[in-house]
């Protein structure tokens, strides 16, 4: 485990975080971000700065060989660090709405999914990767193949998510558990209306839809895809800035993103924060383009 200090440009302390990257015996699996403490205004004008911890389960270095991360692991690291930035860069002094606290369920994944976009940016990847033996950077041709693999059948995956989300929403709003239509009938009806592949007669996928029955996402499964819409549209602002600055790592856009989205936490509705950053309501265009479904 390592401990880091996050400083402002003038050297003042903004936040701190622990990072625990590697798998070990007895450690809980998966990857997550959580807070050790939140930002809070104290008596006398002092500030309790936030502290986060970022936990992953990557393969550790062996002997004199460095740790080798898969691209999926890099995406995971960026995702969890997006949550960390949301928590650490807040400027709100009330714990209940500071950082990640108080942010609506369907927007709390915006900063994390936003960060994943950089893992599909050749400018970023080529600057942080190299061949373990030769030291050569990531070849452009290999990157293009990775991108094509990511977008393969993305339309099918999108339809699958829409079926899941619609089923969940109807199940918790207008479904009559005492009516003639069964839960399985509902799933088939929605699949037939939305998807291009019929639901197999023996399929009982609602019986194992653990996200909405044991995972806390009841009536909220749609937030996965909705957060993708928000994060893709936010990232599009950086792509637009790159047309002028020449880089998606545009500092002016980054400062505006920090000011309007990361720093406000749950102190105002997430949609207000989005509009303050983007200047308009969310649009789906960037999500379709990032998924290879639009030019």
Instruction: Report the topology of domain 154-295.
Output: 1.10.1370
pLDDT class of 102 with cuts at 50, 70, 90: very high
pTM score, two decimals?
0.93
List Cα–Cα distances, 78 to 33, 151, 258, in angstroms: 11, 19, 16
pLDDT in tens, 120-134: 999 999 999 999 999
Contact 123, 248 (CB under 8 A): yes
Cα gap 154→149, rounded to integer Å:
9
- In CATH terms, the fold of domain 2-151 is 1.10.1370
Percent of the chain past pLDDT 90, that is, above it, reads 96
Domain boundaries, the chain: 2-151, 154-295
Residue 89 CB-half CA count within 13 A: 18
User: pLDDT tens for residues 205-249?
Assistant: 999 999 998 888 999 999 999 999 999 999 999 999 999 999 999
Q: Give the model confidence (pLDDT) of 181-214 as tens digits.
A: 999 999 999 999 999 999 999 999 999 999 998 8
Whether 154-295 and 2-151 are alike in CATH topology: the answer is yes
| Rounded mean pLDDT, 21-39 | 95
Catalytic residues: 80
């Amino acid at each position: 485990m390592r401990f880091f200090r996050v400083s402002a440009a003038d050297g003042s302390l903004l936040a701190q975080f622990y990072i625990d990257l590697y798998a070990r015996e007895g450690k809980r699996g998966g990857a997550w971000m959580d807070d050790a403490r939140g930002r809070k205004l104290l008596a006398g004008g002092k500030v309790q700065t936030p502290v986060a911890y970022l936990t992953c389960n990557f393969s550790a270095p062996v002997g004199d060989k460095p740790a080798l991360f898969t691209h999926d692991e890099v995406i995971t690291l960026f995702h969890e660090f997006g949550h960390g930035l949301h928590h650490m860069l807040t400027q709100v002094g009330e714990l209940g709405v500071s950082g990640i606290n108080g942010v609506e369920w369907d927007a709390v994944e915006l900063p994390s999914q936003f960060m994943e976009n950089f893992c599909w940016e050749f400018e970023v990847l080529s600057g942080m990767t190299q061949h373990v033996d030769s030291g050569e950077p990531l070849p452009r041709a290999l990157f293009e193949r990775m991108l094509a693999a990511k977008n393969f059948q993305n339309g099918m995956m999108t339809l699958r998510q829409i079926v899941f989300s619609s089923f969940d929403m109807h199940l918790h709003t207008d479904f009559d558990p005492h009516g003639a239509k069964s839960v399985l009938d509902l799933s088939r009806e929605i699949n037939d209306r939305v998807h291009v592949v019929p639901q197999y007669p023996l399929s009982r996928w609602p019986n194992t839809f653990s996200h909405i029955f044991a995972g806390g996402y009841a009536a909220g499964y749609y937030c996965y895809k909705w957060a993708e819409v928000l994060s893709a549209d936010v990232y599009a602002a950086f792509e637009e800035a790159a047309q002028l600055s020449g880089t998606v790592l545009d500092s002016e856009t980054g400062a505006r993103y920090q000011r309007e989205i990361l720093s406000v936490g749950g102190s105002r509705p997430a949609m207000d924060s989005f509009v303050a950053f983007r200047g308009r309501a969310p649009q789906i265009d960037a999500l379709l383009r990032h998924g290879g479904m639009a030019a």
